[in-house]
A and B are shown apart, each in its own frame.
Chain A
């Protein structure tokens, strides 16, 4: 299978007067359906890299190629549609909308792209809530849930549009180890079931070792790119 996402000679420099280079000549390709982890010290540039992969941020030089198209040539509205259709984000801080219920939050990516929500989509949202073990609290407001529940809701939300790729930035960063374990089981399970590509940032080596591929970033450079053959 081909690469769903490719990074070519990515450099990222922050600041205009005081320049800080955060990423140096990154070249990476991700296979469709693969389960990847990115590890590295805090401040090594992982989040910066992920935001560039997700088209939220732009590299100072180099190209991001999605489905064979260079993203720098796309208009803001095209990028927004692409993100809506093809990427599911899970951030360290879940980012649910506190004005909406858990189920409404899960449905949000679909509503952004469509005028009306058919019953099948609502049913799928409920199915996903069940998958993440939250069918009992899906009508709670986002603020009336525990951290772990909110993060699982964010995962269900990332899955709703059946994106080809899920980008997760330390999705379990502020969870206890038991919740962390459950969430990783869940992500692996989804990867197996739907063939969704996963790129997960973590600084938990135990978790990283469960991935098919481990990429280690050190000071903005790829220090290690380990592909497990199982």
Chain B
């Protein structure tokens, strides 16, 4: 089993700085969704991870903890993720993306 990054929508959407989207080494792996935050009553959206592309480096955790100072990202075993996004279920829009979350992701 292996670790992937998981972003807490509640914690991220309170800040929604998008820094992790700029620092993940992998392309189109941390994405941004307006809807994800707004549908839970936040003013802004949230970042989220397409876990099929995540290589588990935890750079985003360092960026969120130390640069954004928001501690919204944790590394979780892929089979322990409650729900997660996969590239196939992501739709790009004009300024944001939307994702249908899967559960379970593997197994």
A, B: real partners: no
B residues neighboring A (CB under 8 Å): none
